[in-house]
Amino acid sequence: MASGHREIACVSQMQLPKSPIAIYGPGYYVQSKEKKITALQAYLKIAEHALPDSQDLKTSRLWHSDLHGENIYVDPDDPTSICSILDWQSVKLGPLYSHVIEPYILEYDGPSMDGNVLQCPEIKDVEKMIGRDLAASKKKKKKKEKAEILFAAMSLVSQYRHMTQQENESLFRALEFQQTPKYRMLNFAQAIFVEGEATYLSIVADQYHKGWEAFPSIKENPNVRKSFPFTFSEEEPQAVDFDSELVEYGVGLMQDVREAVGLQYFRLDGTVDHDMYDAAKQGI
């Protein structure tokens, strides 16, 4: 709940930042403080119903949420031996379900692997993600290479999930919870000041029209459903879905720009190395 009030305070009192993951503007999705406040007010009403049932997943854990290749030092003579881990400022106390269960060292940047968390990817399904016209395309070789790279990345994530199930039951249940609408409603609200209000409202609208099927504490309790204070008018869901589609288009457009310019120039912190500056400037 505190994060919702924090985000509302930021949205109300500060200038909205530019999106780091999508292109917005005329003809695309346009952020507004009003939409962000609406999404956050929905979060405050839904949050208590979205928490996991298992107390184990709600128990506070100490966690390093930024494990990637630059933060892990290994013995060059024994690469499986970790010598040191950096960036301890990323460590925090928080409920298990809220932590980054799949570490960044997996370097997975593909489509969301929702559904059965133990399902192994199939190369034919990955090829469909890359493009249904794979066989007829003049860029067949390039698309096939992209499909193979994505397949390898998805397979690595799948192997990590299987290992987690075998070695850490609590962690695996947290991973399963992170595939649910409940988790998305808790997680997306954490940074709505920067991004995510359209997607959040789309999830809320979907659950509202499905009778809150993913929320037993609302669906199965007539008194709660009757008094639940969040509703949609007949026109609002269409507007919410349209905004969500515009966001997806803007995200896809940004990804196209990143690939055209060069992914190496798009760090999370917005910087490039000194020796890459001129090339990045020219590319952009």
Per-residue pLDDT of the chain (284 residues; tens, 9 = 90+): 888 999 999 999 999 988 888 888 778 888 899 999 999 999 998 898 999 999 999 999 999 988 888 889 999 999 989 999 998 987 989 999 999 888 888 877 776 766 666 667 677 666 666 664 444 445 666 767 777 888 888 888 888 889 999 999 999 999 999 988 899 889 888 889 988 899 899 988 888 888 888 888 888 887 777 666 677 777 888 888 899 899 888 888 888 888 888 878 777 667 888 888 888 888 77
Question: Which residues touch 199 (CB under 8 Å, ≥6 apart)?
Answer: 188, 244, 247
pLDDT given at position 103: 84
Distance CA 214, CA 177 (A): 11
- 3 state SS of 94: strand
Q: Burial-class residue 134 by CB neighbours within 10 Å (0-12, 13-18, 19+).
A: middle
Residues 185/97, Cβ–Cβ less than 8 Å: no
Domain ranges of the chain: 2-53+189-283
* pTM assigned to the model: 0.75
Q: What is the pLDDT of residue 117?
A: 65
Q: Which helix (H) or strand (E) holds 92?
A: strand 91-95
Residue 129's closest CA among 102, 111, 105, 149? 111
Of 194, 215, 206, whose CA–CA distance to 236 is shortest?
206
